[in-house]
Amino acid sequence: MRTFIAIELPEEIKTILERIQNDLKQTHADVKWVNPENIHLTLKFLGEIDEDLIEQIRSILNGIAQKNSSFNICLSNLGVFPKLQYPRVIWIGITNDQPVIKIAEDLEKEMIKIGLPAESRAFSSHITLGRVRSPLNRKILVEKLELLNQNFPSLKPDFKVSNLTLFKSTLTPAGPIYEALFRCPLKD
């Protein structure tokens, strides 16, 4: 099954991110937007795994969760990969991300121990909003991103992270369907 480990976002944060997506949609750029219900912060993409590994992953996730206290993170600014003039992925960053980075690094080490492949690039704390499919209206999209970023610092919405979640991802023609297989609570 196709899986990933992530931090779930509260509904009020998803609503804010949906509003940002709606602002960006007005550019009519060719972007495949993440369904607001599916927006999350990925800690580790596992890909296709054997169901036999689920209990090992649960044990690892529980161990990491019990070593880390719940914490708050804050949405920061909009960004793109690889660069603003040629966006491929539109994302929103977070501040106070030291606990997120530590957890992601710990997950990486533990998943390698059970035979899952290492990431090819360094972890980056971000929440994906959409993927650019073509250059259609790219210039307008970039201008809108810059404008939204100028106004974004006034928002600074934050939220508490209290669980690490293993998700199953089922790909369908209408888009992926995410199902939480289990949640591991962080220490209070």
Catalytic residue check, 28? no
Catalytic residue check, 40? yes
φ, ψ (nearest 5 deg) of residue 154: -70, -20
Name the active-site residue from 6, 126, 164, 184.
Answer: 126
Name the active-site residue from 3, 16, 31, 40.
Answer: 40
In the block, which residue shows the tokens 């790219």? 138
What is the C-alpha separation between 124 and 130, in angstroms, rounded?
Answer: 16
Catalytic residues: 40, 126
